[in-house]
Amino acid sequence: MSDDMRRLGIMNDEDYRKITLRDVVVADAQEAHSGHDTPYASLSGDDIRTLREQSNMSQAVFARCLNLSVGYVSQLERGAKRATGPALALLDVIRRKGIEAIL
């Protein structure tokens, strides 16, 4: 999609370079070698439950919005698991900008 947006002039070259997978893979490799942790704040189970409740969503609806299973959301809220990767990134966006940012 970003290729099409760039081709149609909706996205400039600088923005396109920021979001290409090639750049993400290079940045991840550099971060792994530098020893830095994830750039996202860790969220506790209570934090995740609060985000969901502030969004006025059930676990099932919240899970659907995040493309996660209900069981995984439940585990996150109970603290049985910690969010990582794309799930953590989406939760961080919701924390900073509200659920509307991903809908």
Q: Which of the pair, 31 or 74, is modelled with greater confidence?
A: 74
User: Left, alpha or beta for 41 (phi > 0: left; psi -120 to 50: alpha)?
Assistant: beta
CA distances 2 to 22, 70, 97, 101, Å, are 13, 31, 23, 19
3-class DSSP state of 46: helix
3-class DSSP state of 41: coil
64-95: pLDDT as tens digits = 999 999 999 999 999 999 998 899 999 999 99
Class of domain 45-101: mainly alpha
User: Residue 44 and residue 41: Cα distance in Å, rounded?
Assistant: 10
Q: Tell me the domain boundaries of the chain.
A: 2-34, 45-101
C-alpha atoms less than 13 angstroms from C-alpha of 103 in its C-beta half-sphere: 10
CA distances 17 to 2, 12, 14, 90, Å, are 10, 9, 5, 21
Residue-level pLDDT at 35 = 45
Residue-level pLDDT at 78 = 96
Instruction: Answer whether 0.75 is exceeded by the pTM.
Output: no
